[in-house]
């Protein structure tokens, strides 16, 4: 495995996938069409998609020493994702998600239990020597709570200090995903090169469209940074540091099969494009295209090497 170029910081969990004939009614006994375990979590999924696109990447997160650990480690290895710097916790349990996929329309319903597993802290991140690694990009998945937001803030500040003291060619670009509708994330806007914001977070902040969101959020960002906002079936919009906006429509498949991880696919595809030197508009277009392709397949594997 070559030195990782992209580091993804965030959650890994076990998804127990249940494909149902239709969404089950309450208080019924329903037989599923298919059930399997999958490795999940936004940042872990980002790493999977980037690896399938041919990128050398690393996941940084916390992993419990419960019985699911073996499955997670084997699955990371299957996709050639480095986990050298992950932090392992004794006496904790692995976060689990119960996922119900409706085979009629591809919708996914998620019941998630975090099991109180701690997230990555600044002291964990400081063990990584940024000078000796080959990272071109570090992406953070913001979780929940003030503790996680402050930890990401501190890690971004550490990267900024590194960038100030190193050659411009070795500068590490950064991005943060803000998906959950929680208040603590506002401290992260002026610290990163790219902010990915979801429809849920945007509406929570009072924006009724992605047009409103990219304009409103950019006022909080540091000069030169870009906002990328996803809006479900309406597609995505970006706004660069010069105030130029671009809207890309969603590209749904002929049949919606599995929408689980579509947003993670979009984020990974956009990062891939930007790392490859493509412009912001092209990156958002590619993100919508690959997310649409993902909605027409089960899982991620058929995305392999789709770099068009």
pLDDT digits (tens, 9 = 90+) for 234-290: 999 999 999 999 999 999 999 999 999 999 999 999 999 999 999 999 999 999 999
Q: Cβ-count burial of 107 within 10 angstroms (0-12 exposed, 13-18 middle, 19+ buried)?
A: middle
Q: Mean pLDDT over residues 44-50, rounded?
A: 98
CB neighbour list of residue 222: distance below 8 Å, 6 or more residues apart: 189, 190, 191, 192
Give the tokens for residue 133. Answer: 């690694």
Determine what percent of the chain is predicted with pLDDT higher than 90.
88
d(CA 222, CA 242) in angstroms, rounded, equals 12
Kindly tell me if the per-residue pLDDT of 178 is higher than 80.
yes
Res. 168: pLDDT tops 90 = no
- CA distance linking residue 94 with residue 117, whole number of Å: 7
For 9-36, what is each residue's pLDDT tens digit?
999 999 999 999 999 999 999 899 999 9
Domains and CATH numbers, the chain: 6-22+32-300 (3.40.1190.20)
Q: What confidence tier does 93 reach under pLDDT thresholds 50, 70, 90?
A: very high
Which residue, chain included where needed, has tokens 């597993």? 117
pLDDT, average across residues 104-116: 90
CA dist., res. 73 & res. 92, Å (int): 16
pLDDT at position 306 is 86
Q: What is the mean pLDDT of the chain?
A: 95
Closest CA to 231 of 186, 201, 189, 268: 201
Over the stretch 80-89, which tens digit does the pLDDT of each residue have?
999 999 999 9
pLDDT tens for 179-229 read: 998 889 999 999 999 999 999 999 999 999 999 999 999 999 989 999 999
Q: Report residue 114's pLDDT band, with 50, 70 and 90 as the boundaries.
A: confident
Closest CA to 44 of 15, 17, 22, 5: 15
Confidence of residue 1 (pLDDT cuts 50, 70, 90): low
Q: Is a pLDDT exceeding 80 seen at residue 308?
A: no
Q: What is the mean pLDDT of residues 141-159?
A: 94
């Amino acid at each position: 495995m070559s030195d990782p170029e992209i580091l993804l910081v965030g959650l890994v969990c076990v998804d127990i996938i249940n494909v149902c004939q239709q969404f089950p009614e309450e208080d019924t006994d329903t037989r599923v069409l298919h059930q399997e375990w999958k490795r999940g979590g936004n940042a872990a999924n980002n790493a999977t998609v980037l690896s399938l696109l041919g990128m050398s990447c690393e996941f940084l997160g916390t992993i419990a020493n419960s019985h699911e650990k073996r499955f997670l480690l084997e699955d990371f290895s299957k996709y050639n994702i480095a986990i050298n710097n992950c932090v392992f916790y004794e006496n904790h349990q692995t976060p689990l998600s119960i996922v119900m996929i409706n085979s009629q329309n591809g919708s996914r319903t998620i019941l998630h239990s975090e099991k109180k597993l701690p997230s990555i802290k600044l002291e964990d991140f400081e063990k990584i020597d940024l000078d000796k690694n080959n990272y071109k990009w570090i992406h953070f998945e913001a979780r929940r709570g003030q503790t996680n937001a402050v930890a990401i803030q501190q890690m971004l500040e550490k990267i900024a200090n590194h960038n100030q003291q190193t050659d411009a060619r070795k500068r590490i670009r950064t991005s943060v995903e803000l998906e959950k509708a929680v208040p603590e994330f506002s401290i992260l806007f002026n610290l990163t090169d790219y902010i990915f914001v979801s429809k849920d977070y945007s509406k929570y902040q009072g924006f009724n469209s992605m047009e409103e969101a990219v304009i409103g959020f950019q006022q909080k960002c540091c000069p030169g940074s870009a906002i990328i906002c996803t809006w479900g079936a309406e597609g995505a919009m970006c706004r660069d540091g010069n105030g130029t906006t671009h809207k890309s429509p969603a590209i749904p498949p002929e049949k919606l099969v599995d929408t689980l991880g579509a947003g993670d696919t979009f984020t990974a595809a956009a990062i891939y494009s930007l790392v490859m030197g493509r412009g912001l508009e092209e990156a958002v277009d590619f993100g919508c295209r690959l997310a649409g392709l993902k909605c027409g397949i089960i899982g991620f594997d058929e995305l392999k090497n789709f770099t068009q």
